[in-house]
Structure 1
């Protein structure tokens, strides 16, 4: 008997370990492959065109899935992306510890929004998409606490928008969280699973 619930493997157009873990933990057999796209150019051009963060997140997810859908024409291809916005400012993943410190100081005692988008392609065509958002309020953080947090969290936070992983030490940063925890981790998982059940990739 297969160790997976899914009827066939899916392609995850991402190198994100957390997204792969979420899908595998939900019983899917996953082949993950990074889709090499120019994310910074997409964000820059999107902002210049007046696109909102959720629209940019969807466009990036679409771009990633579409790229691998040209390579894998049979399996379902899943693309996902996330945008963080606080008072009109967009925050990317920090490039180094100093950048992470700057991001956390800027987000301290403020409420920000995470927009997570997922797009699915099959047989070269886009067949489904979903966007969800979460709202998170950071408590006031002292510079000393931020330094200590970064000491303990290490380089792992450099792979996360906002320089935190809520499922770990990042929980210490917040006073209020509103939204689905899968969305916060970068993938609206439950709507995606519903879609895969409709397509008979997962048992009902």
Structure 2
């Protein structure tokens, strides 16, 4: 059984749909402090560090178990965005994203006994269409508070797909994890059949 160092419903659903048995155990790390320490790092490096920190922290509490950590970051016009803390902040994010390219970085890490066994990442470019105030209000009326748990204020598997006019990148990466890379790593670790 794989331990998922996250309470993310989309990551869990992805892994279960791929045939994996998952035990979820949210990681207790200070993500904002780690991001602050890495303020000058590339977004992909920050996402990988966060995924590794989550996997490592949970694996220390689950001896001998293989633990999967994941993280996603959104960057628009050079500015990194965290999950919105309120519906108003979500609206502010959407106004900023309107008509711009959202760069999404998703990373994953596998750890056992506190040591990282594998680290991977992928990115996607999502072109946000011009969003009207009316759309933003109706969208948040339908999707809040669920999208409050997402860095890009969207669930691509729901009506969040309406935010975009073009998307370049892997569907699983956009959902929050470079799943095909994770599956390869699990095969390398002997957790899946070759």
TM-score for the superposition, normalised by structure 2: 0.97
Offset, 1:202: 1.3
Provide structure 1 residue ranges, at least 5 long, that are not aligned to the other structure.
1-8
CA offset at residue 42 of structure 1?
1.1
Which one of the candidate residues 93, 102, 113 is aligned to 1:103? 93
Moved runs in structure 1, 4+ residues, more than 4 A?
none
Confirm whether residue 42 of structure 1 aligns to residue 42 of structure 2: no
Residues 14-163 of structure 1 aligned to structure 2 (within 5 Å):
14-47=6-39, 50-163=40-153
1:182 aligns with 2:168: no
Which whole-Å CA distance do the structure 1 matches of 2:90 and 2:166 have between them? 21
Which residue of structure 2 aligns with residue 6 of structure 1? none
* RMSD of aligned residue pairs (Cα, Å): 1.0
Q: Which has the larger radius of gyration?
A: 1
Q: How many residues align?
A: 194
For 2:5 and 2:77, locate their aligned partners in 1 and report how far apart those are by CA, in whole Å.
30
Unaligned runs of 5+ in 2: none
